[in-house]
Amino acid sequence: MSENNNDNNATIHTAVEPVMAKTDGTGDYGTTAHATTTRISVEGHTTDSDSESAAVAAGLKHLENQEVKWYSYLLTVDFWAIIALGQILALCITGSNTFTSFLSSVNTIIPAFQTLFNYALLTIVYLPYTIYKHGWAKYRSILWRDGWKYFILSFFDVQGNYFTVLAYEYTNILSAQLLNFWAIVCVVILSFFFLKVRYRPVQIAGILICCGGMGVLLASDHINGTNGGNGKDMIKGDLFGLLGATLYGITNVYEEWFVSKRPMYEVLSFLGIFGVCINGVQAAIFDRSSFAGATWNGDVAGWLVGYTFCLFIFYSLVPLILRMGSAAIFDVNLLTANFWGVIIGTRVFGYTIHWMYPIAFVLIIFGMVVYFLAGTILGDSKKPWLGDNQKDGVAGLGTAKLKALNEARRKGLAREEVAGEA
């Protein structure tokens, strides 16, 4: 690596999200003139794009050539951050399900309408920040050029939420939860064919162990008789659940692709905008009859606020775990939501914890440990569809590109100097 330690004067200019984002001649992924500009000097390169690629390449090479043990990634901050983020997301899902149960208990069953507030909050929080970072002109350009892509993402997300809620209405809990496994299958298949992800045998083994843990959890539900009994229309409910799981799988893979290329705040702002439009229309069409028999009081308002808050935190953190990990590890993390649901249920609904539950939780966590064994120090943050040097990606929080640039600066493989306001 010593050949990369000499400094020449080639410079690159990169935008920030929060540190740096990809720029090109079309203005993609960059920020406004108010963004801080970072210059990195790399040996033997004279153009901006070549210098950035060289800095990333040097950083990636240094990271990937480090001598690592089979357990090295398990000792990194990234691994524990992924585990922690995954459990926070599982708790958010558990919280939203709990508030939905409260609403259902007073006959307030409005699946599309109650989710509308989450998309509205995403818009309120992230749209102004996106416009501030990009400026109106660039924002309109992105909307015109890529709005249809974001619309498709939002459509899949809204429909995934809607049909999953419908599945719980028609089938039993056990059947609906078993169908959630299909989302993991969809993610693995879609990632393999469309994102060029190649899973190692140890990763497949890790996923299977996690699914085995979920199987133990579902078995304990069946033994305890807490699987919900017979649904009112099992076939219809199972079809809704299968469709919802498929849409979730598509959404997760599509969002992973997006956040690897675009700033997280931009993705969330468009998800909110189009989510409000799609969900609003859906609520007006399908939830109108439910409003007549629904209960409206202070408790219901509080439950809606709690539901919206849980979903907002969930949506805000998902892009980060998709960058640091992958859609597959994200879905696997969510398998622990059922465990947390029972823990909360012991206090709220009087559930009892079966002895198999802790075993199921440990198996799921162990499966995630196995998934990351014998991998590189970058884990799943290096995305194959972005190219060897991640040249098509954004250098934002949690990305391999940002890690490579920081490593290049830290090890003297690239010299950094901060310029003034552009």
Residue 174: the pLDDT is: 59
Residue 28: the pLDDT is: 42
Residue 178: the pLDDT is: 66
Tokens 């406004």: give the residue.
32
Residue 411: the pLDDT is: 83
Structure tokens that stand for 256 in this block: 């992973």
Which region, left, alpha or beta, applies to residue 84 given φ > 0 means left and ψ of -120 to 50 means alpha? alpha
The dihedral over CA atoms of 23, 29, 30, 32, expressed in degrees to the nearest 10, equals 160
| Alpha carbon of residue 127 to chain centroid | 19
pTM: 0.83
Tokens 């922690």: give the residue.
84
pLDDT tens per residue, the chain (422 residues)? 443 444 333 333 333 444 333 434 333 433 333 333 444 433 333 335 667 788 888 999 888 888 888 888 898 999 999 999 999 999 998 888 888 888 888 888 888 888 999 999 999 999 999 999 999 999 999 999 999 999 999 999 999 988 887 777 777 665 666 666 788 999 999 999 999 999 999 999 999 998 888 888 777 766 766 555 566 677 787 888 889 889 999 999 999 999 999 999 999 999 999 999 999 999 998 888 888 788 899 999 999 999 999 999 999 999 999 999 999 999 998 888 877 877 777 777 676 777 888 888 889 889 989 998 867 789 899 999 998 889 899 999 999 999 999 988 888 876 543 333 22
Contacts of 177 (CB under 8 A, 6+ apart): 214, 218, 221, 338
Q: For 416, how many CA atoms within 13 A lie in the half-sphere containing its CB?
A: 17
> Cα(first)–Cα(last) distance of the chain, in Å?
33
Q: How far apart are CA 308 and CA 311, in angstroms?
A: 5
Q: How far apart are CA 122 and CA 265, in angstroms?
A: 9
From the number of C-beta atoms within 10 Å of its C-beta (0-12, 13-18, 19+), residue 286 rates as: middle
Residue 383: the pLDDT is: 95
Q: Which amino acid is at 195?
A: L
Contacts of 310 (CB under 8 A, 6+ apart): 92, 93, 95, 96, 99
